Amino acid sequence: MNFFLTVVLDGLIQASWLFIVALGLTLVFGVLKILNIAHGSFYALGAYIAATAVTTVAAHGLPPSFGFVAMLISVALIGSAVGLLLERGLLKMFYGRDEVVLLLVTYAVFLILEDATKLIWGVNPIYATQPYELFGNIEFAGLSYVGYDLVLLPVSAAIGFLVWFGLNRTVKGKIVLAVIHNEEMSVSMGVRVNRVYAVAFAFGVLLASLAGALTAPKISMQPGLSSDVIILSFAIVVIGGLGSVEGAAVGAILVGLARAASVHLMPQAELFMIYLIMAAVLMFRPEGLFKRETARRI
Amino acid sequence: MLLLVVAAALFGRALPTWTLSLATIAASNALIALGIVILARTGNVSFGQGLFYAAGGYGVALIANAWGITDALVQMLIGAVCGGLLGIVIGPLLARYSGIFFGMLTLALSMVLYGALVKTTALGGSDGFNIGRPTLFGLTFTDTREADFMLYAVSVVTTGLAGIAATILFRSELGLASLAVRENNLRVEYLGISSNWVVTINFAIAAVFAGASGSFALMAQRHIDPQFAYWTTSGEFVFVAVLAGYQSVAAVFVASVALELVRSFSNLYLPNTWQLVLGIFLLGVILFLPRGIGSLWIKQRRKRIDPPLTAVTVQKEAAQ
């Protein structure tokens, strides 16, 4: 029983940050129909920026809570700016091309960002552990958990709720949904799709870098981070259904649990498990768990 | 064309030693990219050719070590068979998918193999293991230049023959049906051709090429590790295919050599930034040569049919 609880909690903690990354990926796909390979790079970018912010604050002798706030603010600003810049400056040129071409464009962006982060932050591992002790340790069912990990759960749930609420209960969100469902019709109704594209992409990048910032205190930042994260978040959105918010949540929980379970039971099968789930889901429901099949033109 | 292949192989005699191994890798990459081009003619881009690349490489390494097979040709055939067998098993399963889902599934399968290989300590885990220097027809090459040249010749001839086979394939019934599947697979079905079958056959051919390519990479490096199956490895092969465009077999070779040259020069002058150079290069090609470098010398035969004017394109044009 205790073991079961450990796996579930570990899985949910994993799922909490994975969900934030996958949410960004799935939104960008839903609106722009781009499967963004560079998404993991934005996660890494967020993590690196957070590390810089945290260590700068710590170097000035300020308390770690300042570092925590500073990292969130700096990542939010830089993340959305990078997103806007990329969409307006680069992706715009490729709209209307084949979706595989757009995939390759984001692959090129991934390659560029990969080396750009190496040039800025070097190849040695970077740590930003100061905020990790911020919330102390919490005893739960006889187990000791780092408070920071548990705080991630409500944070992630709140982000999920806000996105869901924003999309389904506000006028602007409904316009975005309209673009997701039928871009052509929304243009005819006077929606400025270009603007929706730019905002959606910037928001996706913001989510990825925010997740990077939130996990930065838990991990060591080093090259290869982005390609590992993109692989996980691909699996999540494909399991859940590309473009679906609920799907991203369920996919993140499934992948988080699978990771936690295999870490405890069979550490050698971790990556294997996740992709097995993804392959299984695709075999039986190619559209993912949460996506309705759409009619196609003959 | 055969003469051209033989000439290219003999040309290796004149090449300086350091370019020989580079050219071997370029030929091997061209072979696997050729497979991607063949598959892409059905409209499906595989982001997981690393699966067959690694299957070929590991298959050869294991069998060669177990049975003491060192002949380069035999090793290449073993690699091709390993890749092909796996392709025949997976092909029918994947043929039902198209576009992004096809790409994602191939990527997923290659990552399954990667995940399994990294954790398999019997195969050296993430460090991999080494194999001996290949021989040819019972000849052992003690001089490294001779050995490099032998490998160069075998890989160039194999890739050249594969290129000739691909040209024939493109003009065959199957090759033309592949193009039709890319345009509209439902209409192909209405014509009485199974589009799944067309995709499966092309997939298996691509897998055979990838397996053989994996064996060359193994023989050239005399070392194998799970990186063979990692998705960024597969990404590089797709890169070569995109660079080449989908129209010309020769373009695949040119693209592959170009990539290897860019890689070694940026390794030499800009260490740590060759991916950056590669990314900019890729963006440039997609932007300025949308049909690949093949379009530099192949004139378009028929007029491009413009996509239908939609409300979205009208708005976008108005915005510019």
| Rounded Cα distance, A68 and A211, in Å | 13
Full pLDDT tens readout for chain A, 298 residues: 677 888 888 889 889 999 999 999 999 988 888 888 899 999 999 999 988 888 888 888 777 778 888 888 888 899 899 999 988 888 888 887 777 788 888 888 998 998 888 888 877 887 777 777 777 777 766 677 777 888 888 889 999 999 999 988 998 888 888 888 888 888 888 888 888 899 999 999 999 999 998 888 888 888 878 888 888 888 888 888 877 888 889 989 988 988 888 887 776 667 777 877 877 787 777 777 776 555 555 5
Q: Show residues of chain A in contact with B104, CB under 8 Å.
A: 35, 234, 238, 282
Nearest in space to B183 (alpha carbons), one of A297, A281, A53, A29: A297
Contact B311 A118 (CB under 8 A): no
Is B39 in contact with B203 (CB distance < 8 Å)?
A: yes
pTM: 0.83
Q: Encode pLDDT of A5-30 as tens digits.
A: 888 888 898 899 999 999 999 999 88
| Rounded Cα distance, B311 and A250, in Å | 35
Name the residue facing A187 among B45, B307, B312 (closest C-beta).
Answer: B312
**Residue A188: closest C-alpha in chain B:** B311
Instruction: Please give, rounded to a whole number of angstroms, the shortest distance from the CA of B185 to a CA of chain A.
Output: 9
Please give the pLDDT value at position B303. 47
Nearest in space to A76 (alpha carbons), one of A27, A121, A42: A42
Q: Tokens 């243009």 identify what position?
A: A187
Q: Which stretch of DSSP H or E encloses residue A146?
A: strand A143-146
Q: Specify the amino acid at residue A235.
A: A
Please give the pLDDT value at position A45. 92
| Rounded Cα distance, A124 and A12, in Å | 30
Q: Encode pLDDT of B190-217 as tens digits.
A: 888 888 888 888 889 889 888 888 888 8
In the predicted model, what is the mean pLDDT of residues B107-114?
Answer: 81
Instruction: Please give, rounded to a whole number of angstroms, the shortest distance from the CA of B119 to a CA of chain A.
Output: 5
Q: Encode pLDDT of B4-52 as tens digits.
A: 766 766 666 666 767 777 888 888 888 888 888 888 888 888 888 888 9
Q: Show residues of chain B in contact with A116, CB under 8 Å.
A: 276
How far is the CA of B94 from the CAs of A279, B89, B102, B104, B197, in angstroms?
Answer: 10, 10, 7, 11, 11
Instruction: Please give, rounded to a whole number of angstroms, the shortest distance from the CA of B12 to a CA of chain A.
Output: 32
Q: Which stretch of DSSP H or E encloses residue A159?
A: helix A147-169
Contact B115 A103 (CB under 8 A): no
Beta bridge partners of B129: B224
Q: Specify the amino acid at residue B36.
A: I
Asked if A93 has any chain B CB less than 8 Å from its own CB, the reply is yes
Q: Which two three-digit tokens encode residue A93?
A: 């040129």
Kindly report the backbone phi and psi dihedral angles of residue A138, in degrees, each rounded to the nearest multiple of 5, phi listed first: -120, 130
Asked if A183 has any chain B CB less than 8 Å from its own CB, the reply is yes
| Rounded Cα distance, B192 and B211, in Å | 32
Supply the range of the domain harboring residue B110.
2-319
The sign one gets for the Cα dihedral A13, A16, A18, A21 is: negative
Q: Which two three-digit tokens encode residue B140?
A: 């052992």
How far is the CA of A166 from the CAs of A244, A245, B192, in angstroms?
Answer: 14, 12, 49
DSSP string, A216-284: GGGS-B-TTHHHHHHHHHHHHHHHH-TT-HHHHHHHHHHHHHHHHHHHHH-GGGHHHHHHHHHHHHHHH
Please give the pLDDT value at position B136. 67
Q: Specify the amino acid at residue B57.
A: G
In sequence order, the 6+-apart residues with CB closer than 8 A to the CB of A118 are A223, B272, B273
Contact B274 A95 (CB under 8 A): no
Task: Determine the 3-state secondary structure of B175 from DSSP.
Answer: helix
Provide the pLDDT confidence category of residue B315 given band limits of 50, 70 and 90. low
Instruction: Please give, rounded to a whole number of angstroms, the shortest distance from the CA of B285 to a CA of chain A.
Output: 10
| Rounded Cα distance, B189 and B181, in Å | 9
**Residue A94: closest C-alpha in chain B:** B287
Beta bridge partners of A139: A144
Instruction: Please give, rounded to a whole number of angstroms, the shortest distance from the CA of A242 to a CA of chain B.
Output: 10
Contact B108 A105 (CB under 8 A): no
The residues in A 16-35 lying below 8 A from B, measured between CB atoms, are 35
Asked if A132 has any chain B CB less than 8 Å from its own CB, the reply is no
The residues in A 190-219 lying below 8 A from B, measured between CB atoms, are 192-194
Instruction: Please give, rounded to a whole number of angstroms, the shortest distance from the CA of B40 to a CA of chain A.
Output: 10
The residue among A107, A268, A285, A298 with the most chain B CBs within 10 A of its CB, best to mutate, is A107
| Rounded Cα distance, B38 and A56, in Å | 53
Mean of the per-residue pLDDT values for chain B?
Answer: 78
Burial profile A50-76: b = 16 or more Cβ within 10 angstroms, e = fewer: bbbbbbebbeeeeebebbbebbbebbb
Q: Show residues of chain A in contact with B100, CB under 8 Å.
A: 35, 99-100, 103, 242
Torsion of CA A81, A86, A91, A93, to 10 degrees: 110
Q: Show residues of chain A in contact with B312, CB under 8 Å.
A: 183-184, 187, 193
Domains in chain B: how many in total? 1
Nearest in space to A8 (alpha carbons), one of A207, A143, A134, A137: A143
Contact A234 B315 (CB under 8 A): no
Instruction: Please give, rounded to a whole number of angstroms, the shortest distance from the CA of A255 to a CA of chain B.
Output: 14
Contact B231 A94 (CB under 8 A): no
Name the residue facing A275 among B97, B111, B276 (closest C-beta).
Answer: B111
Residue B219 has pLDDT above 70, yes or no: yes
How far is the CA of A227 from the CAs of A45, A70, B199, in angstroms?
Answer: 12, 26, 29
